[in-house]
Structure 1
Amino acid sequence: MKQTTALKIATGVAAAALGGIFLYSRATRPPVINPKVPEPAKPVELARYLGKWFELARHENRFQKGLNSVTAEYTLEPDGRILVDNAGSHDHKYSFVEGHAIVVDEATNAKLKVAFFGPLYTGDYWVLDHGDDYDWSIVGEPSGRYLWVLHREPKPSRAVVEALFKRVEALGYDRWALRITQQR
């Protein structure tokens, strides 16, 4: 009888903890800045997408809060997954996280699932649009809560940045909701 009661209590505590984590994650998500996220504009050639990207702007989120000098580097792994190395800094402290992505839409290669911290956190990663020369990329996901504007250079010209923000707007996002990422 005591073991059954202890098991019920342990199960209840575990369920409450998981429920609390779920509610926290839902409560700390950024607001929607695009209620009608478009499908990716064109296919992605993974070999050309791989490499280092510099974040120009993002919709601020809890896992990147306050980060600057943000980079993302994508490398093809032997098993076909993509290694994702994200780095940045805040108050002179370096931040680094590693993840793994898989293509979930093999017809276009534009939709991926990325997992950080093992299988505990997975998220959608949609390449909504990119330059023909793979010099820029706009990345989002289907909820319209997250958006990143990436470039191969840390500080492209003002004209290039303005053209990217116009493209962000054309995709249905509020460009003024984005946080500009300071790059060195």
Structure 2
Amino acid sequence: MVGYMKKIFFIIFVIGTFFGWAETSADLSSRIVIDGNSSDFTQDENILVDSLGNLLELPNDSRWGEYNDVRQIKVTWDENNLYVAVDACSWDNNVMLFLDIYDDYGVWDMQELNTWKRAFKFYNLNPDFFLATWDTNNNPQFWKMREGSSLQADEVTIEDFSTFDTGNLDR
């Protein structure tokens, strides 16, 4: 469990760090298609690489094997939207991505949360939003913490799509 939490913290740190490196434009809706395929993201929108293009997330380092592993996270935005893609394989499991933008509230203990209860806690950050999906689900969920709360999250309707499919290493 400790290794899993380190990976989550690393991902959140990387997302926060690399937002400053990405290039964007006023409207990306004609380039980014919400279809579960991340090939419409550009190389500079991959966040699990260093400035030389070296992978920061190895494609075969998961404790649960290659069929439960995050390979890349891609992020970009325009004036109206945040676009996020998680390239991963999930076999009979779930994938969650946490975003922390507010300093004064957010989830700290996933076991106490009103949804997606999990046996881990956050330290030195409190995510305000999370994306969550599971193997073979094509409709990911986006959750927002209630303002001032650490226990209540509400699902928010967004345009989304997932193509995690049991044993498919290309999605």
Q: TM-score scaled by structure 1? A: 0.27
Q: Which has the higher contact order (CA 8 A, sep 6+)?
A: 1
| TM-score, normalised with respect to structure 2 | 0.28
Q: Which structure's CA Rg is the greater one?
A: 1
